[in-house]
Amino acid sequence: MIRYIIRRMLWVIPTVLVVSFLVYVAMDLTPGDPANAVLGDVATDEQYNQVREEMGLNDPIVVRYFRYVVNAVQGDLGTTLYGKRSVWDEVMSRLPYTIYLTLASIVVAVIFSLPLGILAGIRQNTWIDTLASVFSFVGMAIPNFWLGILLIMAFSVHLGWLPSMGVHGFKSIILPAITVGTGLTASLTRTVRAAMLDVIRQDYLRTARAKGLSNRVVILKHALKNAMIPIVTIIGTNMAGLLAGAMVTETVFSWPGIGYLTIKSVLGGDYNLVTGCIIITAVLMSLILLLIDVIYGFVDPRIKAQYVEGR
């Protein structure tokens, strides 16, 4: 198992390098010039050229990227163009809020989707299955920004129960978590239902029932355990996406996470901060996907056995 984990970890390095290089090149091709953003439109050509030289913008892009990677490994992602704050410190100060929103959204999704998906799977073609299917389609079709605005209007403006923006204790996370968690609940419900339909027809479940095990034990201990691979995949990939920044939701609720910071830095033309946000989130996504691969090895021994046997 240790060799399996090490091998997966080694794959993260080239993945991060390729993604970070593409992001760096994309930001370099973005219209605008960091030197102009710093100096404004009233600077002389001499001042402009001096600032470009100080910022290393006259070097080839490969040289600049290599220098960026060397500094990034040491925790230096440069400084913001406005205010000259550390990009690393700025992003890291927002990361806990994004993690908080991500975990809260996943908790909401798991609490509702697992029971609903399991019931829909074992009660196929009943009213419960129909209800789960309708909820899944509606939940996946509703745009996050629209749902967020409706929740704000209902629970903040009209009822006054919950805050509409910012961080003001536990109540502040409820509406953003529901907004993000609704779409995840819908997709996870469909996944759980499909996985349960696949496993409940297997021979080993009939054998378990023949041994006298209760239906509850058969479903929760045997069927659900063997249906965990697609469930873990959906949760893990959505977690990676949420950590990358639920930009729309964070913007609607003024939630001070990485997504909201990225939007503000794009609108403000802070190229250094945008690059830092995207590269750090790319690293986070790679680590989450690595974690999914490792969990696969524990959940499904067949995957670990294939690697151990060298197949």
pLDDT of residue 39: 64
Contacts of 220 (CB under 8 A, 6+ apart): none
Mean residue pLDDT of the chain comes to 77
pTM: 0.74
Share of the chain above pLDDT 90, in %: 0
Residue 83's pLDDT band, with cuts at 50, 70 and 90, is: low
Do 28 and 55 meet the contact criterion of CB atoms below 8 Å apart?
no
Does 305 or 137 have the greater pLDDT score? 137
Q: Cα separation of 293 and 297, whole Å?
A: 7
pLDDT tens-place string over residues 244-302: 657 778 888 888 888 888 888 877 777 778 888 888 887 887 777 777 777 766 666 55
Domains in the chain, ordered, with CATH? 2-73 (no CATH), 99-256 (1.10.3720.10)
CB atoms within 10 A of CB 236: 19
pLDDT of residue 126: 83
Mean pLDDT across 69-97 = 81
pLDDT of 305 higher than 60: no
pLDDT of 90 higher than 80: yes
Do 160 and 81 meet the contact criterion of CB atoms below 8 Å apart?
no
pLDDT of 307 higher than 70: no
pLDDT tens-place string over residues 9-57: 777 778 778 888 887 887 777 766 666 666 666 667 676 677 777 667 7
